[in-house]
Amino acid sequence: MTRCTPWRISGRLLITVTLLLLSSCTHLPLNIEPSQASPFTRTISRTDSAGAYAAPAGNMPALADSGLVLIDQDSGKRLFLADVAPAAIAWSPAGEHLAAAFTDGSGATLKLFDSNGTLRSTSRIDGNINGLFFTAEQELIAIAITTKPRRFGTSCTQLLYRWKIGSTPVATALHDTTIMPLSLQKYGLTRLSQQLKPVISPWNDELLYAKLANPPVATPYYKLFVRNLINNAEYEIATVGIDTTAMAFSSDGEQALWTSPDRMVWQRRLWEDGQAVLLPGSNDSIPVTHAVAPVLTILQRSKLINVRAWRAAGLISAKEYADSKKRILNQ
Amino acid sequence: MKIIVALTIMLPATLLSLAIAATEIPAGNDCISCHRQKTKAVVTQWEESAHAKAHVGCADCHGTDHTALEKGDRRVATTTCGKCHPTAYKTHIASRHGMGLHSGWGCTRNLVNRDSRECAFCHANESSAILSTVHCARFLKQSSEMGEIGCNRCHQVESSCASCHTAHITDLKVVRDPNVCATCHQGPDHPQWEMWQTSRHGTLYSSRGATNGPTCQTCHLYGASHDVSRGITMSSGMAPYGIEAAVNARTEMLQVCSGCHAPSVARRELERNDSVHRQSLKLVKEAEEIVATLADQKLLDPMPQDRPPHPLSGYNLVLDSQLLYEDTSHIERLLFKMKKYDLAKTVKGAYHQNPAYTHWLGNAELKMDLVDIRSEAGRLRERKNNSLTQPAKNHHDITGEQLELLKKKGERGGVTPAEEETARKQLLEDFLLKK
């Protein structure tokens, strides 16, 4: 069950996509039940807690037996795009493109399909995919983890790939750490390096991700960071335990949320005149639908993303941002 | 058998003692008897010196390790002289000659708003002791040969009394001659000797002697003190001292001037020169701001990250006293000339009462430097605007760039916080109103 975005596709098909229910789902990481009374949701089918993907233009998530499948909502016609399940998929903001990442040896193959299911572009990156998102209609980011065993531990690097369609993906190292042998033995590599999946803001402009810290003779933990993808400004928002299982942005992109081991959801206002605000919330009270953002005109959206980037880089104050945002939303 | 054992033990010991004896200077006057043949001039100078009369011999200053002496490792340090001349040593070490000049830095402790991290360039943590490590970017760029003759021959003054006194002559005529200062205090970066020589003070000295014409020593070593920085109200980089330090230093200098001039005249002269100092710094500040802004706009050619790293600051832009004249951009080289040469000529020319240095060799050059720097900045901006590789920018990008430039300008004090806020609000307002 999921909410659907209000964006409209200009094409004739309303397409949804599904995956084989493997363990590599990247969206909807929080296991939060939205209100049954919500006008944006309806039950389509049974799935696991994080197995369905919404097409930006569609309103009907669907399931398939295996691989990657597009379903024409009107006719019910199914189009098989791949017979193996991708590690991650993402829809472009306007729903005109679908990206999928397939595990390929020590790396992954990124494939870009148009809304008709035609393969438009392919590229290969190193590392295990941990997240795949569109930042614009023609630009994707992929977060991948590379690991290398060493005598003193396992070297673990988190890479951010930026893929402008038609060019080669460019990698930036987000974080590099060494996982100690004892931690590896206790928690396992996958849990330590890939449990906490990065998420993108509803405006597709900021990335919430975790950096694993594993000091010697101490329990590993995560530092949560928000990185603005326009100007790469980033800031730390919290230090959380190794048992944290999921993160999300609030629907207005102004709060970060994560689950604690006792299944409480914690929320942090990202900007409060420079003050960190950490509030324990309950599952019922959190507006946590991923990728649901207010409907804005192109100009409003463009302006909002700019002032968000300026705020992240410290070029304007939190108050100036708040005032600007208010005016942009009222324009 | 006993004889063989005894020889086995004694022979190495005998050879060892002979080897040691070969590297040590024999006691007594044995140095003299040998060196009278090998370095006659040195022995003669010593014999005529106050040291000889006071029975201070070669080994008292040089030690007895002849091998080290031959290698040049036993130069006489100020600490050695300080054992017998404690007052001179203390005042010398406390003065600008003794405060980090070995590293090319004047001490900045009296500067307004100085960055306290600068202390670490010369001092160990929480200590006034000076580190031996050299932290001068211009020195670090030199070959060892150039560093030795071109840098250290002057900057060793902290650790070598011989820099002024020479090595073996104790006749004070040497150090009372202004020429002794000229070894270092001449040339394009601080031509104090030329300024003095061609000023009325210097003219009177050359025509009527020291009784009528003050020398460097008359004013800067007043009362035979070794404190050469007494009475000076700015750092060696010409940054003005804070109020308290400046007032104290000015009082000291007025005492010196008042030996010949009416105090009111001296005060008026110095205050006028303070104005010249401030006006000149303003010109340099404007030039620095132009270069810093160009760097913010990534318009320097080459940019710091595209040229060999600065020895102290890596790939960061450096416009302070560690500014380089090599491996830099043309506009930074112009700034170097302006700041290192022409600012010094103007300001020091004024304080040394030399009108030609103050105006034509200093102030006029400063202003022409600024013309050149503005012009070069315009050329760099125009070149970027004409570049075919630059994609057209929308107003969002432009506003972002302007906000970034404004922030950097604010961080280096180019605008006040209030001015920065006003400008930022205006940029945001314009951005929000655009369709």
- Contact in structure between B319 and B287 (CB atoms under 8 Å): no
Looking at the structure, tell me whether residues B325 and B432 fall in a common domain. no
The answer to whether residues B344 and B401 belong to one domain is no
Of the candidate ranges A98-107, A166-175, B98-107, B211-220, the one whose mean pLDDT is the lowest = B98-107
pLDDT tens for residues B38-75?
A: 999 999 999 999 999 999 999 999 988 888 888 776 67
pLDDT tens per residue across span B260-295: 999 999 999 999 999 999 999 999 999 999 999 999
The span from the CA of A298 to the CA of A296, in Å, is 6
Residue B184 has pLDDT above 90, yes or no: yes
Q: Which of A230, A300, A304, A315 to mutate to test the interface with B (most CBs of B within 10 A)?
A: A315
Q: Which chain B residues have a beta carbon less than 8 Å from that of A320?
A: 424-425, 428
Looking at the predicted structure, is the pLDDT value of residue B227 above 90? Answer: yes
pLDDT(A202) > 50:
yes
| DSSP three-state, residue B82 | helix
* Token pair for B76: 């006489």
Pair (B342, B364) in one structural domain: yes
Q: Are residues B422 and B381 in the same domain?
A: no
Q: Among B430, B431, B434, B435, which would you mutate to test the A interface (most chain A Cβ atoms within 10 Å of its Cβ)?
A: B431
**Would you say residue A31 has pLDDT above 60?**
no
Each residue's pLDDT tens digit, B396-409:
788 999 999 999 99
Report DSSP state, residue A285: G
CATH of the domain at B290: 1.20.850.10
Assess whether pLDDT exceeds 70 at residue A60. Answer: no
Task: Please give the pLDDT value at position B106.
Answer: 56
Residue B36 lies in a domain: no
Instruction: Give the whole-angstrom CA distance, residue B424 versus residue B403.
Output: 7
For residues B313 and B387, state if they share a domain: yes
Query: Are the beta carbons of B400 and A327 separated by less than 8 Å?
Result: no
Say whether residue B429 is in contact with chain A using an 8 A CB cutoff.
no
pLDDT tens digits, one per residue of B358-374: 999 999 999 999 999 99
Q: Any idea what DSSP says for residue B318?
A: -
Specify if B305 maps to a domain.
yes
* Residue B402 contacts A where some CB pair is shorter than 8 Å: no
Q: What is the number of domains present in chain B?
A: 2
**How many other CB atoms are there within 10 angstroms of residue B161's CB atom?**
21
User: Is B428 within 8 Å of chain A by CB?
Assistant: yes
Distance from C-alpha of B267 to C-alpha of B273, rounded to nearest angstrom: 10
Q: Once rounded to an integer, what is the mean pLDDT over residues B20-36?
A: 64
Query: Does the beta carbon of A316 lie under 8 angstroms from any beta carbon of chain B?
Result: yes
Which helix (H) or strand (E) segment holds residue A68: the answer is: strand A68-72
Q: Which residue has the higher pLDDT, A20 or A90?
A: A90
Q: Beta strands A206-213 and A221-228: pairing type?
A: antiparallel
Is B279 in the same domain as B371?
Answer: yes
Q: Please judge whether A324 and B435 are an interchain contact, meaning their C-beta atoms are less than 8 angstroms apart.
A: no
* pLDDT (0 to 100) of residue A43: 34
Task: Give yes or no for residue A61 having a pLDDT over 70.
Answer: no
Query: Quick one: B344 and B385 in the same domain?
Result: yes
Instruction: Tell whether the model's pLDDT for residue B29 goes beyond 80.
Output: no
Q: Is the CB of residue A324 less than 8 Å away from at least one CB of chain B? A: yes
Closest-CA residue of B relative to A319 is B425
Separation between Cα atoms, residue B249 and residue B138, nearest integer Å: 30
One domain, residues B379 and B429: no
The least confident of A285-289, B87-91, B347-351 is: A285-289
- B302/B383 same-domain check: yes
Instruction: Please report which confidence band the pLDDT of residue A331 belongs to, taking 50, 70 and 90 as the band edges.
Output: confident
Query: Of B72 and A242, which is predicted with more confidence?
Result: A242
A200, A227, A226, A194: which is closest to A212 by C-alpha?
A: A194
Rounded-to-integer distance, Cα A186 and Cα B103, Å: 54
- Do B284 and B342 share a domain, yes or no? yes
- Say how far apart CA B56 and CA B71 lie, in whole Å: 23
List Cα–Cα distances, B292 to A89, A94, B332, B409, in angstroms.
45, 42, 10, 8
Return the structure tokens found at B264: 């009111």
Strand A78-82 to A68-72 pairing: antiparallel
Nearest CB partner across the interface for B400, out of A306, A327, A331:
A306
Max avg pLDDT among A130-139, A285-294, B175-184: B175-184
Q: What residues 372-401 of chain B have any CB closer than 8 A to a CB of chain A?
A: 396, 399-400
Higher-pLDDT residue of A191 and A36 is A191
Residue B214 falls within a domain, yes or no? no
Instruction: Please indicate if any CB of chain B lies within 8 Å of the CB of A299.
Output: yes
Cβ contact B396–A302 (<8 Å): yes
The answer on B337 and B289 residing in a single domain is yes
pLDDT reported for residue B93:
87
Instruction: Tell me: pLDDT of A52 over 90.
Output: no
B377 occurs within a structural domain = yes
User: pLDDT higher for A131 or A84?
Assistant: A131
Q: Is residue B339 part of a domain?
A: yes
Q: Is the previous residue joined to B302 through a cis bond, with omega within 30 degrees of 0?
A: yes
Q: What percent of chain B lies above the pLDDT cut of 90?
A: 62
Task: Give the Cα separation of B284 and B262 in Å (integer).
Answer: 33
Of A231, A309, A324, the CB nearest to B432: A324
Tell whether B432 lies on the interface with A, counting CB pairs under 8 A.
Answer: yes
Q: Give the tokens for residue A55.
A: 């097409």
B86 within domain boundaries: no
Substitution target from A304, A306, A325, A329 for chain B, most B beta carbons within 10 A: A306
- Per-chain mean pLDDT for chain A: 74
**pLDDT of B364:** 98
3-state percent breakdown (helix, strand, coil) of chain A, nearest 5: 15, 40, 45
List the domain range (segments joined by +) for residue B317. Answer: 264-392
- A74 in contact with chain B, both atoms CB, cutoff 8 A: no
CA B82/CA B78 separation, integer angstroms:
6
User: Across the interface, do A303 and B404 touch by the CB < 8 Å criterion?
Assistant: no
Q: Which residue in chain A has the smallest CA separation from B403?
A: A315
Nearest-by-CA chain B residue for A324: B432
Can you tell me the distance from the alpha carbon of B307 to that of B333, in angstroms, rounded to the nearest whole number?
Answer: 14
* Averaged confidence pLDDT in chain B: 86
The answer as to whether B428 is a domain residue is yes
Q: A309: nearest CA in chain B?
A: B400
In eight-state DSSP terms, residue B171 is -
pLDDT exceeds 90 at position B218? yes
Residues B304 and B405 in one domain: no
Maximum average pLDDT range among B284-288, B313-317, B382-386: B284-288
**Does the pLDDT of residue B104 top 80, yes or no?**
no
Polymer length in residues for chain A: 331
Average pLDDT over residues A15-27: 32
Virtual torsion, Cα B20, B23, B25, B27, nearest 10 deg: 10
Which of the given ranges, A146-160, B64-78, B288-302, has the highest pLDDT on average?
B288-302
Q: How far is CA A160 from CA A163, A192, A234, B206, in A?
A: 10, 18, 13, 74
Residue of B nearest to A297 (CA): B435
pTM reported for the whole predicted model: 0.65
The confidence score (pLDDT) of residue A153 equals: 86
For the segment A243-268, the average pLDDT, to the nearest whole number, is: 79
Tell me if A314 and B403 make a contact (CB, 8 A cut-off): no
In this model, does residue A218 exceed pLDDT 90? no
User: CA-to-CA distance for B156 and B160, rounded, in angstroms?
Assistant: 6
Amino acid at B194: E
pLDDT at A4 exceeding the cut of 60: no
Q: Which of B406, B407, B428 sits opposite A320 (nearest CB)?
A: B428
Closest CA to B338 of B305, B311, B363, B360: B363
Q: Which residue has the higher pLDDT, A291 or B268?
A: B268
Per-residue model confidence (pLDDT) at position A85: 80
Q: B342: which 2 tokens?
A: 């022409």
